[in-house]
Amino acid sequence: MDFSSFSTSFGTSFFVFVVLMLLFTWLSRKPGNSFVYYPNRILKGLDPWDGGSRSRNPFAWIREAFSSSEQDVINMSSVDAAVYFVFLSTVRSEQSFVYMVITALLTLFIVTFFLLALAILVLSGLVLLPVLLPVAATDDNVKIQKAKGNQTFSDIDKLLMGNVKGGSPRLWAFLIATYWVSLVTYFLSWKAYVHVSGLRANALMFPELKPEQFAVLVRDLPPVPEGQTRKEQVDSYFKSIYPETFYRSMVVTNNKQVNKIYKELEGYKKKLAHAEAVYDESKKRGKPEGLRPTIRTGLLGIVGRKVDSIEHYNEKIKELIPKLEDEQKVTLREKQQACAFAFFTNRVTVASATQSLHAQMVDTWTVTEAPEPRQIIWSNLKIKLFQRIIRQYVVCFIAALTILFSMIPIGFISALTTLDNLKKLLPFLKPIVNIVAVKTVLEAYLPQIALIVFLALLPKLLFALSKAEGIPSVGHAVRATSGKYFYFTILNVFIGVTLSGTLFDTLKFIEKEPNAIVSLLASSLPGNASFFLAFVALKFFVGYGLELSRIVPLIIFHLEKKYFCKTAKELKEAWFPGDLGYATRIPDDMLVFTIVLCYSVIAPLIIPFGVVYFGLGWLVLRNQALKVYAPSFETNGRMWPHIHTRVIAALILYQVTMFGYFGVKKFSFSTLLLIPLPILSLLFAYVCQKKFYRSFSDTALEVACRELKEIPNMERIYRSFIPPSLRSEKADDDHFEDALSQVSRVGSFA
Handedness of CA 636, 642, 645, 649 (dihedral sign): negative
What is the overall mean pLDDT for the chain? 81
Handedness of CA 449, 453, 458, 459 (dihedral sign): positive
Indicate the length of the chain as a whole number: 750
Q: Name beta bridge partners: 626.
A: none
Please determine, for residue 89, whether its predicted confidence score (pLDDT) is greater than 50.
Answer: no
Ramachandran angles phi, psi of 217, nearest 5°: -95, 125
Counting Cβ atoms within 10 Å, is residue 486 exposed (0-12), middle (13-18) or buried (19+)? buried
Q: Name the pLDDT band for 536 (thresholds 50, 70, 90).
A: confident
The fold adopted by the segment(s) 211-255+335-371+713-748 is Alpha-Beta Plaits (3.30.70)
DSSP calls for 128-152: HHHHHHHHHHT--HHHHHHHHTSS-
Q: Name the pLDDT band for 111 (thresholds 50, 70, 90).
A: very low
The confidence score (pLDDT) of residue 490 equals: 86
State how beta strands 366-369 and 294-296 pair.
unpaired
**CB 174, CB 164: distance < 8 Å:** yes
Q: Is 710 helix (H, G, I), strand (E, B) or coil?
A: coil
Handedness of CA 380, 384, 385, 387 (dihedral sign): negative
Please determine, for residue 418, whether its predicted confidence score (pLDDT) is greater than 70.
Answer: no
Buried b (16+ CB within 10 A) or exposed e, 6-18: bebbbebbbeebe
Question: In angstroms, how far is the first alpha carbon of the chain from the final one?
Answer: 69
Domain boundaries, the chain: 3-102+180-206+491-704, 211-255+335-371+713-748, 258-328, 385-469
| pLDDT per position as a tens digit, 284-294 | 877 777 788 88
Distance CA 343, CA 352 (A): 13
Distance CA 620, CA 326 (A): 50
Using alpha carbons, select from 11, 20, 101 the residue that is nearest to residue 620.
20
Q: Is 443 helix (H, G, I), strand (E, B) or coil?
A: helix
The confidence score (pLDDT) of residue 748 equals: 30
Distance CA 700, CA 342 (A): 19
DSSP calls for 237-281: HHHHHSTTTEEEEEEEE--HHHHHHHHHHHHHHHHHHHHHHHHHH
Max avg pLDDT among 25-29, 146-150, 706-710: 25-29
| pLDDT per position as a tens digit, 449-475 | 666 666 677 888 899 999 999 999 999
Please determine, for residue 511, whether its predicted confidence score (pLDDT) is greater than 60.
Answer: no
Cβ neighbours, 10 Å, residue 57: 10
Counting Cβ atoms within 10 Å, is residue 661 exposed (0-12), middle (13-18) or buried (19+)? buried
What is the distance, to the nearest Å, from the Cα of residue 700 to the centroid of all Cα atoms in its chain?
Answer: 26
Distance CA 638, CA 78 (A): 12
Q: Is 224 helix (H, G, I), strand (E, B) or coil?
A: coil
**Nearest-5° Cα angle at 493, 188 to 187:** 5
